[in-house]
């Protein structure tokens, strides 16, 4: 799949509709910068948007993926299947966001619990002071690590790391 070729094709289709990148961005609820990235081949639209673009431009989705016009019209079964895949992906993303929200709520509860429990020395000498401080430090450190990992996940840093690792490995294989 040649992203540069796809980007040029998307740009051509947009210009055929006499639209600016900003106008297209508004139509699909993305930024003008996102449309620019599609058209330069730096990124690809999500599957759901790809289907909508094919409908909007009245082209076969395979034409967009190939980056050129074909004579055949997209068969309804393929289109239907792709819509179902897009819906499935959206549903999975929603479940993942809910799971992350639950993890963040759990972490917040842990922080509050730690502050109440360890911030007041509620044990009044029942636990040796060094053990008490160790437990407090462990709990707060664990909480902080969990928050940092959640934030990294929410900002897609793990995905970026994976992509860079794959790019590095691909370059290494080529050499």
Residues 6+ apart with CB under 8 A from 19: 27
As given in the structure block, the two tokens for residue 160 are 């970026």
Cα 96 from Cα 88, distance rounded (Å): 12
Residue spans per domain, the chain = 3-66, 92-174
Contact 104, 153 (CB under 8 A): no
Max Cα separation, the chain? Answer: 82
Q: Which residues of 82-111 are buried (b: 16+ CB within 10 A; e: fewer)?
A: beeebeeeeeeeeeeeeeeeeeeeebeebb
As given in the structure block, the two tokens for residue 115 are 């502050």
Residue 76: its pLDDT value, please? 67
DSSP tag of 70: -
Residue 21: its pLDDT value, please? 93
Spatial CA neighbour of 79 closest among 45, 39, 48: 48
- Which pTM value belongs to this model? 0.46
Task: Please list the pLDDT of the chain residue by residue as tens digits (175 residues).
Answer: 788 999 999 999 999 999 999 999 999 889 999 999 999 988 888 888 888 899 899 888 888 888 887 755 556 667 777 788 888 888 888 888 888 788 778 877 877 777 676 666 555 667 677 777 787 788 778 878 888 887 887 777 888 888 888 888 888 887 7
Give the CATH number of domain 3-66; options: 3.40.630.30, 1.10.260.40, 3.20.20.70, 3.40.50.2300.
1.10.260.40
Residue 120: its pLDDT value, please? 61
Angle at 64 (CA atoms; ends 173, 163), nearest 5 degrees: 30
Residue 75: its pLDDT value, please? 62
Cα 3 from Cα 45, distance rounded (Å): 11
As given in the structure block, the two tokens for residue 148 are 């940092």
Contact 58, 70 (CB under 8 A): no
Residue 12 has a CB neighbour count (10 Å cut-off) of: 14
């Amino acid at each position: 799949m040649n992203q540069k070729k796809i980007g040029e094709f998307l740009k051509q289709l947009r210009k055929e509709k006499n639209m600016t990148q900003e106008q297209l961005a508004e139509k699909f609820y993305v930024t003008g910068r996102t449309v620019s990235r599609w058209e330069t081949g730096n990124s690809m639209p999500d599957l759901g948007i790809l289907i909508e673009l094919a409908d909007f431009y009245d082209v076969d989705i395979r034409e967009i993926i190939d980056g050129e016009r074909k004579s055949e019209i997209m068969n309804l079964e393929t289109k239907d299947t792709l819509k179902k895949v897009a819906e499935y992906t959206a549903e999975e993303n929603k479940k993942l966001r809910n799971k992350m929200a639950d993890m963040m709520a759990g972490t917040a509860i842990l922080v509050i619990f730690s502050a109440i429990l360890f911030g007041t020395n509620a044990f009044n000498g029942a636990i040796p002071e060094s053990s008490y401080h160790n437990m407090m430090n462990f709990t707060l450190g664990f909480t902080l690590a969990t928050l940092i990992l959640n934030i990294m996940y929410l900002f897609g840093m793990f995905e970026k790391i994976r992509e860079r690792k794959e790019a590095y490995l691909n370059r290494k294989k080529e050499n």
